[in-house]
Amino acid sequence: AQKITQTQPGMFVQEKEAVTLDCTYDTSDQSYGLFWYKQPSSGEMIFLIYQGSYDEQNATEGRYSLNFQKARKSANLVISASQLGDSAMYFCAMREAGYSSASKIIFGSGTRLSIRP
């Protein structure tokens, strides 16, 4: 069964430092997508970055990059030069191809990131 594991419930990081948020996943599908979402204190879900299972290069979006290690089934989010506005809850998520049934997005339990000035 598909599963997402985020082992860091909370993290504190100094402003301007880089931070890595861990995510491991479990799936028996060969085709799947991995997502990271940011949830600030206001509550909305903001899409950050996507990595496809067949993508050979790690995805990057501005200060965000996804460290994709397929053999280890890990999809860590790296935020370079953290800013105070990065303080939020971060969710790792996965979507399988869904050949036999509807494909849903499943989420990890989240990591609360706090940036210290």
Partner 1 sequence: EAQVTQNPRYLITVTGKKLTVTCSQNMNHEYMSWYRQDPGLGLRQIYYSMNVEVTDKGDVPEGYKVSRKEKRNFPLILESPSPNQTSLYFCASSLSQGPGTEAFFGQGTRLTVV
* Interaction site with partner 1 (CB under 8 A): 4, 6, 9, 29, 31-33, 35, 37, 43-45, 47, 50, 52-53, 91, 93, 95-98, 102-110
One-letter amino acid at 20 equals T
Q: How far is the CB of 81 from partner 1 (least distance, A)?
A: 25
Closer residue to partner 1 in complex, CB, 15/47 = 47
Strand 19-21 relative to strand 46-52, pairing? unpaired
Q: How far is the CB of 105 from partner 1 (least distance, A)?
A: 5
Token representation of residue 60: 């990057």
Residue 73 region, left (φ>0) first, then alpha (ψ -120 to 50), else beta? left
The Cα–Cα gap between 46 and 37 comes to 5
Q: How far is the CB of 35 from partner 1 (least distance, A)?
A: 7
CA dihedral 10, 69, 83, 112 (to 10 degrees): -20
Closer residue to partner 1 in complex, CB, 68/91 = 91
Closer residue to partner 1 in complex, CB, 35/68 = 35
